[in-house]
Structure 1
Amino acid sequence: MSDYVYGNENNHWNLFHRKYEDMRIRDGFLKYLRKFANNFMNKPLKKYKGLKRLVESSPFPNFALHVLYTPRMIENLVAILKQGHVIRKKHVVHAIRILFVLLKEPHPRSLLLKDDIPSILLPLLEVELIDDDVKKATLRLFRLLAINKDPETAEYITNTHAIWACLKIVHYSGNLNMYAIQIVKGILSTEQGLNYVSQNNINMRIVLHSLRQAVDTMELNETNADVLEKIIISYWFLNKSHLSWDLLEEYCPERFLNGNLQEFFDFNPDCKRFVEFVFVRVTYLLL
Structure 2
Amino acid sequence: MSAARGRWADLLPRVLSAVVMVAVGGYAVWTGGLVFDVMIALCCGGMVWELVRMLEPARSGTALQLGAVSGAAVLLASLLPVFWVLPVLAAPVAAGFGQISDRRQYFTGFALWVLLAGFGFIWLRGQPEMGLPWMLWLIGIVVVTDVAGYFAGKIIGGPKFWPRVSPKKTWSGTASGWLAAAFLGAVFASQMGLGFGIVVLSVLLSMASQAGDVAESALKRMTGVKDSSALIPGHGGLFDRFDGMLGAAAMFLAVTAIWG
The structure whose RCO (Cα within 8 Å, separation 6+) is larger is: 2
TM range (shorter): under 0.3
When normalised by structure 1's length, the TM-score is 0.26
The structure whose Rg is larger is: 1
When normalised by structure 2's length, the TM-score is 0.28
Report the structure, 1 or 2, having the larger helix content.
2
